[in-house]
Amino acid sequence: MLKAVASTCLQSRFHVATTSFNPHLRRSTESNSPLLRVLGSVYRPNCSNSRSPYFFRRFFCSDSSEGSDPVAESGAEAKRIEREGEDADSKSSAAIVPTVFKPEDCLTVLALPLLHRPLFPGFYMPIYVKDPKLLAALVESRKRQAPFAGAFLVKEEPGTDSRIVSGSDAEKNIYELKGKELLDRLHDVGTLAQITSIQGDQVVLIGHRRIRISELVDEDPLTVTIDHLKEKPYDRDDDIMKATSFEVISTLKEVLKTSSLWRDHVQTYTQHIGDFNYPRLADFGAAISGANKFQCQEVIEELDVYKRLKLSLELLKKELEISKIQEAIAKAIEEKISGEQRRYLLNEQLKAIKKELGLETDDKTALSAKFRERLESKKEKCPPHVLQVIEEELTKLQLLEASSSEFNVTRNYLDWLTALPWGIYSDENFDVLRAEKILDEDHYGLTDVKERILEFIAVGKLRGTSQGKIICLSGPPGVGKTSIGRSIARALSRKFYRFSVGGLSDVAEIKGHRRTYIGAMPGKMVQCLKNVETANPLVLIDEIDKLGRGHAGDPASAMLELLDPEQNANFLDHYLDVPIDLSKVLFVCTANVVDTIPSPLLDRMEIISIAGYITDEKMHIARDYLEKSTREACGIKPEEVEVTDAALLSLIENYCREAGVRNLQKQIEKIYRKIALQLVRRRAQNNPPVTEAQNGEPIQLNAESHCVLTETSTGEGTRDGGESKPDEIENSLDQATTSEVTLESENIKSNDIETVDKVLVDMNNLTDFVGKPVFHAERIYDQTPVGVVMGLAWTAMGGSTLYIETTLVEQAEGKGALHVTGQLGDVMKESSQIAHTLARAILLEKDPANPFFANTRLHLHVPSGATPKDGPSAGCTMITSLLSLATNKPVRKDLAMTGEVTLTGKILPIGGVKEKTIAARRGEVKTIIFPSANRRDFDELAANVKEGLEVHFVDDYNQIYNLAFSDNEKTKE
């Protein structure tokens, strides 16, 4: 069998088909089939119809992504390719006697892999052959006048997606395969292709008929034996097949209307519609469609003509839908582009017309005019160096293109430069009496703060001008630091601007960004000046003690230039890059704790401490400020509610013990919200909603009628369908005989009377509005036991009382030790050790025979244990607690003390005198012991804070010992 196949192949290679390439000999073999006449015109370049080769080259050639497309070639180029093929054929056949060779005689062919698309019969396809052996075999085959090869589509590689793998990767994988591996990757059904020309590695093929691979002959290059396939028999006159073919033709005509890409193909088809049969029509429709290669392969493999027509029709319908979508997209884009172009042209024409008439200038001229007009009003007051920079930037703006990025940077820079209030100052009001009235209206108490502001105004009055200062208001939250800043601005008639620096970690927020950065902006101070439009506003810098520090620099250091009176006259913002005078700006800073403010920054501020409010001050603030504003915010009239002084006092002492009044305001708001709900409910009960009677007319039900209708539902007055009359309701009420109805009506009438009365909030019903008390009395002990002493502490929320307790753990010879608890910091732990040492020395001096500390293990505790405590002011309290236990003497019950002690018994000064004094008053303490160095701080306190207190100032602990235990000794005597 192999010998027979080889001999057949050898004969076919040397068997020259003269008639297939000789026009005169071929005419005798042509049949009268119209399809063959159409195909025959491809091989007759010298026939009378010179247009046929050109049209059918375009008509029968399918697209290829591998190289040049013969469809795009001109008619002359197509003729040139044919002439070259005929010349090569004539040269190769000169030495051999030509014989007849038909395509069906070719039984062994070279297998050509097609990567992108199968070759349809009657269509051209250029391919690139990268394998040198395969290319040499193709050239040799063409020289031997057997220019046929098998074109087979490559299968998809297992485990890959054709949508992801690139064409170059697929080509590389195919070229690496040889023999059996390559054969397994090829589809069995392909096309017998004639080699029309070979130029370099480009081979142009034209399809003839369908073939199927039967056996492998040679592996390199891949050579296979083939079987020629024929269509299954079909009935030409079958109505369904005719209808299907007509639908294919109709679809092609529709495509002509929607897609210009197919116009040449369809025009050629309509010219030769009579020359087509059903199989060729199906191939033609599938070949020119944009279907993928696997769908086209289905058409190649289909031998049933009717099924092939249906497949081709399906592909054409899909292509038609795609063409319609493409047309719609193109139309929409064209309309959009044409509309925008038309609008652009009209705008340009309008600009040109206005410019000719002098009605409008171009953008750059208009911008320059706007900037100059903005600068005109402040040109006399503007510093010369700023004017010079503005003129330079205006000149630069005229030279730049409007579309360049530098143009936008320059425009924004000029916008900021010309918008700042250069040399513009607001008129200040130096009326001290007016300022004092405004400060008293807004805040109660705070005498030292108000006095400092009045001093500032008085100096400005005498000088005729005010110089900017830096005031730092420090104190716990809720004492009114921010609102004081607003009041100062109102008293001075200055513009007010506030910005918070809490958590700020970027220096650019203060100093601005460089102009070269994208989205660059000036710093907060430049933004402030632009907003307030004056160069002497009051700037409130909130939460300055919470400045952050990040990767973008240290904002606290950048604030130095802003707040330093010696530097802020020439403050330099990174964005503007010109000096700005901030010397007339009044800076007011707020902080909860000044300890966290960096020392260089704190040195430039004038600290005004706001310690907090005592109960009396909170009462005035609640009555005169908080209650009034809350009542107005809730929409309640003054005659509708009454809050007694006892209720407010209980609210302050049992619910709101913080230093400020923010929590007090929240509780008052809570009370008034509940009062508002009560008032609305009562009004709803007195004015029930409108209902509808049976005839559809609305009736109004008050409390009495509602009672009657519910209890006398069997009465005729509620069922007659008419409107209820007051007389009828009274009659029905008289007819009610049960005591329950009478009692209910009386209760409702009494409720109606109560709605006229005020809502009273007093001690008895306060818990109904704000719940149970949060705090209890700070005094844990009515009579202070042995080893317990009350101390005074300062916190960021104000002052508080603090008990220090000492107890005996065990007592034995040489067991003297001290154990400390209460979550104490390092400073208080050291104070406890100092107190233990000093207490032993004092006990040895007072009672030499008492070995208490040497033989006793002690435990010192500072409640509460969950609260961290630290500070240098608990030494004297700890010593007193230890000595009280050692001498078995309790201290005075109304005594509280504070102060740090040295090893020699000296008392050191402490801080937070006002806060600790307020805490002592809150704890009902009558006697306080302070270090002598704090006498000045106590004397500066307001009279109402010091009222009723017995204060002792001491230098040595022996004085404290005498004060703490003197009354007890007198009592014993």
Please report the DSSP string for 84-151 in residue order: HHHHHHHHHTSSS--B---GGG--EEEEEEESS-PPPBT-EEEEE---HHHHHHHHHHHHTT--EEEE
C-beta atoms surrounding 475 within 10 Å: 27
What confidence tier does 63 reach under pLDDT thresholds 50, 70, 90?
very low
126 has binding-site annotation: no
Span 567-587, average pLDDT = 88
Q: Output the domain CATH number for residue 899.
A: 3.30.230.10
Is residue 284 within 8 Å of residue 266, measured between CB atoms?
no
C-alpha span between 89 and 450 (Å, rounded) = 116
Please tell me the predicted confidence (pLDDT) of residue 453.
84
Most confident of 563-577, 690-704, 773-787: 563-577
Residue 876 lies in a domain: yes
Into how many domains does the chain fold?
Answer: 6
Q: How would residue 779 be classed by pLDDT, with cut points 50, 70 and 90? A: low
Instruction: Tell which of 705, 738, 770 closes a domain.
Output: 770
Show the domain range for 197.
68-228
The CB-side HSE value for 451 (13 A sphere, CA atoms) comes to 9
Highest mean pLDDT among 158-162, 297-301, 354-358, 780-784: 297-301
Q: How far is CA 227 from CA 189, 191, 215, 662, in A?
A: 9, 11, 10, 99
Q: Take residue 930 and report the two structure tokens written for it.
A: 């302070």
Contact 499, 528 (CB under 8 A): yes
Q: How high is the pLDDT of residue 168?
A: 55
Q: Same structural domain for residues 493 and 526?
A: yes
- Does 477 count as an annotated binding residue? yes
What band does 46 get if pLDDT is binned at 50, 70 and 90?
Answer: very low
What is the DSSP code string of 407-441? HHHHHHHHHHHHHS-TT--PPP---HHHHHHHHHH
Stretch 922-930: mean pLDDT: 86
Q: Is 798 annotated as a binding residue?
A: no
The two tokens of residue 840 are 């032993």
Whether the CB-CB separation of 468 and 583 falls below 8 Å is answered with yes
pLDDT at 497 over 90: yes
Which range, of 276-285, 316-325, 372-381, 805-814, averages the lowest pLDDT?
276-285
Average the pLDDT over each of 501-505, 601-605, 720-724, 934-938 and give the range with the smallest value: 720-724
Which residue type does 708 have?
A: V
- 921 pLDDT above the threshold of 70: yes
Q: What is the pLDDT of residue 866?
A: 66
Statement: residue 597 has pLDDT above 80: yes
| Residue 398 predicted with pLDDT over 50 | yes
434 within 8 A of 545, measured Cβ to Cβ: no
The pLDDT of residue 965 is: 83
DSSP bridge pairs for 606 = 471
Q: Using one digit for the tens of pLDDT, what is the confidence trace for 410-442?
A: 888 888 988 889 888 888 888 889 989 998 888
For residue 363, being part of any structural domain is answered with no
Task: Tell me: is residue 722 an annotated ligand-binding position.
Answer: no
**139 plus 209 within the same structural domain:** yes
Whether 247 is covered by a domain: the verdict is yes
- Is residue 695's pLDDT more than 80? no
User: Based on the domain organization, do 523 and 474 belong to the same domain?
Assistant: yes
| Structure tokens, 463 | 């000088």
Q: Is residue 353 part of a domain?
A: no
Express each pLDDT in 118-134 by its tens digit: 988 877 788 888 888 88
Q: Which pLDDT belongs to residue 263?
A: 62
333 found inside a domain: no
Query: Facing residues of 127 across strands?
Result: 203
Q: Is residue 746 part of a domain?
A: yes
pLDDT above 80 for 191: yes
Do 267 and 219 lie in a common domain? no
Q: For residue 540, is pLDDT > 90?
A: yes
Tokens for 172, please give them: 């590389």
pTM of the model: 0.55
User: Is 904 among the annotated ligand-binding positions?
Assistant: no
Mean pLDDT across the chain: 76
Q: What is the mean pLDDT of residues 22-29?
A: 35
State phi, psi for 149 to the nearest 5 degrees: -150, 165
| Across 342-356, 486-500, 846-860, least confident range | 342-356
Examine the fold and report which residue of 228, 255, 272 is the final residue of a domain before the chain moves on. 228
Cis geometry, peptide bond prior to residue 864 (ω within 30 degrees of 0): yes
pLDDT given for residue 164 in this prediction: 54
Find out whether 486 and 478 touch, Cβ atoms under 8 Å: no
**Catalytic sites, residue numbers:** 873, 916
Cβ neighbours for 708, distance < 8 A, ≥ 6 positions apart: 715, 729, 732, 733, 736, 741, 745
Residues 276 and 381 in one domain: no
Question: Would you state the pLDDT for residue 776?
Answer: 65
Average pLDDT for 592-614: 85
Among the residue ranges 216-225, 347-356, 586-595, 903-912, the one predicted with the least confidence is: 347-356
Phi, then psi, of 687 in degrees rounded to 5: -125, 80
Q: With 70 as the cut, is the pLDDT of residue 796 above it?
A: no
958 shares a domain with 820: yes
- Asked if the structure places residue 23 within a domain, the reply is no
**Domain end among 228, 260, 289:** 228
Q: Quick: pLDDT tens for 291-309.
A: 778 888 888 888 888 888 8
Q: Is 815 annotated as a binding residue?
A: no
Check whether 496 has a pLDDT greater than 90.
Answer: yes
| Residue 180 near residue 216 (C-beta atoms within 8 A) | yes
- Indicate if 397 and 437 belong to the same structural domain: no
Please tell me the predicted confidence (pLDDT) of residue 476.
86
890 and 943 housed in the same domain:
yes
Q: Which residues pair with 213 in a beta bridge?
A: 226
Taking the alpha carbons at both ends of the chain, their separation in whole angstroms is 144
Q: For the residues of 574-636, what is the DSSP string, one character each? A: TTT-SEE--TT-EEEEEES-GGGS-HHHHHTSEEEE-----HHHHHHHIIIIIHHHHHHHTT-
Residues 79 and 184 in one domain: yes
Taking CA atoms, 168 is separated from 67, 119, 175, 202, in Å, by: 13, 20, 11, 17
Is the pLDDT reported for residue 315 higher than 50? Answer: yes
* Integer Cα distance of 674 and 710 in angstroms: 30
What are 26's two structure tokens?
A: 């071929």
Residue 36 inside a domain? The answer is: no
Lowest-confidence segment of 104-113, 202-211, 718-727 by average pLDDT: 718-727
The whole-angstrom separation of Cα 128 and Cα 105 is: 26
Residue-level pLDDT at 961: 87
Alpha-carbon distances, residue 430 vs 435, 458, 460, 519, 650 (angstroms): 8, 7, 7, 42, 42
Higher pLDDT, 777 or 775: 775
Same domain? 531 vs 480:
yes
Q: What is the pLDDT of residue 693?
A: 44
The CATH number linked to 309 is 1.20.58
Residue 266, pLDDT > 70, answer: no
Tokens found for residue 447: 């005498």
Is the separation of the CB atoms in 177 and 48 below 8 Å?
no
How far apart CA 780 and CA 783 sit, in angstroms, is 9
Percentages (nearest 5) of helix, strand, coil residues in the chain: 50, 15, 35
* Beta bridge pairs of residue 789: 804
Helix or strand holding residue 529 (H, E): helix 524-532
pLDDT at 689 over 90: no
Mark whether 300 and 224 lie in a shared domain.
Answer: no
CATH number at residue 515: 3.40.50.300
324 is in an annotated binding site: no
Judgement on whether residues 437 and 479 belong to the same structural domain of the protein: yes
Q: Which two tokens stand for residue 954?
A: 């001491």
The residue with greater pLDDT, 73 or 508, is: 508
Closest CA to 157 of 176, 133, 135, 131: 176
40 belongs to an annotated ligand binding site: no
Per-residue pLDDT averaged across 842-851, rounded?
A: 86
Percent pLDDT > 70 in the chain is 76
Q: How confident is the model at residue 258 (pLDDT cuts 50, 70, 90)?
A: low
